Chains A and B, each alone.
Chain A
């Protein structure tokens, strides 16, 4: 079910501004890949190109090739809506739908796509997704309450439940723990550990311990200076990156001697 992602010569633009330049990498299937690097180096921008969310921003465009499961994502025949059904995303800030209850938030991906669900099936999906997001025990008695009534960490786990309820093949996470306390963070890291057997996960993080804890592979992005495009410096197994990186810049960043 899960698939690897091959990226070749990817240039990412905002209008005329080249934000990320010349990315070549392969994201392996059924594993966790972490993207690290300083702020503004294009990690999130790159992540958003993987499910064609980048082009939601007016003027944003992409050159190069991303191949998922043998299909080129940016082929003119590819429907971005279909891509996003296969490649789910969790955002930096929790964003549950304010008009919906907890249960409806989990079902949003299915309901909004007009899938008819039997009541019992819907209940199954809600319970399964919330259980896997480590939230079921906390909310099982108040599924009809609004999604906004939860705490920040719970909201983020609700968003993860919402993303996995549609059973995507790939899960993109854009700094999912940056607004969370250590307990919620560890709940989400546990969740990532459990999900890795079935999903291809790409996670952007500023927390290098987190990258070391959860990921099999790590990609380090950097930019040469302000206004210059971000670049992929190095991608290697996480163990190697954190002990014996190929590039000096990587070593400098990881050991804190950066800049």
Chain B
């Protein structure tokens, strides 16, 4: 070790550090992609593969080809960059495949069903054509609204306790643990819980009503609301709380007037995502809300149809006109997806609207 002298290149390196390197042209990825697709197409045609084989081989050729070309012209770092970039694009495409396929299937099968009759009629006394999902739409909206009315106050107050009062105390960490456990409750268990609860309260072993569905769904919704609201409240800088305390504002009013408004946009987003999560639940509603062909506006009396349960029954028990009934199922699925997408869009708009404005 003692004999090592400083390498002679070191002084030279300081004199001349090239800042310019050869770069592939901007259209290089496009060219490689085109070549990969056509080469894979030739192979696919000559060997008789289907579309899937073609796409996979093209992707592989692209992932190998572009970094190799880059390695030859550019340097190692650029080649690695191009390799990882290509891998991430492939991952994105793979992630999109199920989504696009699902959406296109539902739209293809369901779009023709979306008529005013379909949205305005119930299935009362309908055999075959002329039926609709009005009863299920009303049920889904009412039951989800009920679940939201139960979950948001409980969830929000729990998260306020966890962030503002409990902090690091033992009871707060116990609550956090239990909320996490609650997140993992299978939805059917939530339905059974609601059924058992109301069967015991009313003494009716065959109880079915919409509000029971709301209770079951709120069991699934509360942990999501708690966790998302907790994260949002934690993001509010403690500077703001101290500024408010220093003005002689009591703690509860600081929470209500300073902390909550600052976190409001995030909380609204969290609540909407929680709604989107539970609106498609089937199992608990099968058990406690039941199913009917009639419109029922009363959450507290009689069975209530919901979109997921309607889809389930239309598809598994299509009855005398299976084609028509399955069409109803696809139409209802499309409506459910549209509702969830609209909720997400509303959440984004509300989030923007309530976000603290910097005015810059």
Binding site for B on A (CB under 8 A): 51, 53, 56, 58, 81-86, 88-89, 91, 93, 95-99, 108-109, 111-114, 145-146, 148-149, 159, 162-163, 166
- The smallest beta-carbon distance between B352 and chain A, in angstroms, is 14
| Contact partner, B242, options A58, A91, A112, Cβ 8 Å | A91
On chain A, the residues within 8 Å of B65 by CB distance are none
If over half of B's interface residues share one DSSP class (helix, strand or loop), that class is named, otherwise mixed; here it is helix
Q: How far is the CA of A58 from the CA of B240 in the complex (A)?
A: 17
Q: How far is the CA of A114 from the CA of B248 in the complex (A)?
A: 12
In order of increasing CB-CB distance, the 7 nearest A-B pairs are: A85-B248, A149-B359, A98-B356, A109-B247, A89-B246, A95-B239, A146-B359
The yes or no answer to B167 lying at the interface (CB within 8 A) is yes
| Contact partner, B246, options A51, A93, A114, Cβ 8 Å | A51
Other than A99-B261, A112-B249, give 6 A-B pairs with Cβ distance below 8 A: A84-B247, A91-B239, A112-B244, A112-B258, A113-B253, A148-B357
| Contact partner, B356, options A82, A99, A112, Cβ 8 Å | A99
Q: How far is the CA of A97 from the CA of B239 in the complex (A)?
A: 9
Judging by beta carbons under 8 Å apart, are B253 and A114 in contact?
Answer: yes
Q: How far is the CA of A107 from the CA of B237 in the complex (A)?
A: 20
| Contact partner, B249, options A91, A113, A145, Cβ 8 Å | A113
Judging by beta carbons under 8 Å apart, are A97 and B247 in contact?
Answer: no
- The smallest beta-carbon distance between A162 and chain B, in angstroms, is 7
Judging by beta carbons under 8 Å apart, are B357 and A166 in contact?
Answer: no
Q: How far is the CA of A81 from the CA of B167 in the complex (A)?
A: 21
On chain A, the residues within 8 Å of B246 by CB distance are 51, 53, 84, 88-89, 91, 163
On chain B, the residues within 8 Å of A91 by CB distance are 239, 242-243, 246
The yes or no answer to B321 lying at the interface (CB within 8 A) is no
Name the residue on B nearest A93 (C-beta): B239
The yes or no answer to B23 lying at the interface (CB within 8 A) is no
Q: What are 27 A-B contacts defined by CB distance under 8 Å?
A: A53-B246, A81-B250, A83-B248, A84-B245, A84-B246, A85-B247, A88-B247, A89-B246, A91-B242, A91-B243, A91-B246, A95-B237, A95-B243, A97-B240, A97-B243, A97-B258, A109-B248, A112-B247, A112-B253, A112-B254, A113-B248, A113-B249, A148-B359, A149-B359, A159-B243, A162-B243, A166-B248
- The smallest beta-carbon distance between A70 and chain B, in angstroms, is 20
Judging by beta carbons under 8 Å apart, are A95 and B242 in contact?
Answer: yes
Q: How far is the CA of A111 from the CA of B246 in the complex (A)?
A: 14
Judging by beta carbons under 8 Å apart, are B358 and A81 in contact?
Answer: no
On chain B, the residues within 8 Å of A148 by CB distance are 356-360
Q: How far is the CA of A149 from the CA of B244 in the complex (A)?
A: 20
- The smallest beta-carbon distance between A87 and chain B, in angstroms, is 8
Q: How far is the CA of A163 from the CA of B246 in the complex (A)?
A: 8
On chain B, the residues within 8 Å of A114 by CB distance are 253
On chain B, the residues within 8 Å of A58 by CB distance are 167-168
Q: How far is the CA of A83 from the CA of B246 in the complex (A)?
A: 9
Name the residue on A nearest B264 (C-beta): A99
- The smallest beta-carbon distance between A228 and chain B, in angstroms, is 27
The yes or no answer to B158 lying at the interface (CB within 8 A) is no
- The smallest beta-carbon distance between B360 and chain A, in angstroms, is 6
Residues 266-280 of B, flagged 1 when their CB comes within 8 A of A and 0 if not, give 000000000000000
Q: Which of B167, B357, B360 has the most CB of A within 10 A?
A: B357
Judging by beta carbons under 8 Å apart, are B242 and A166 in contact?
Answer: no
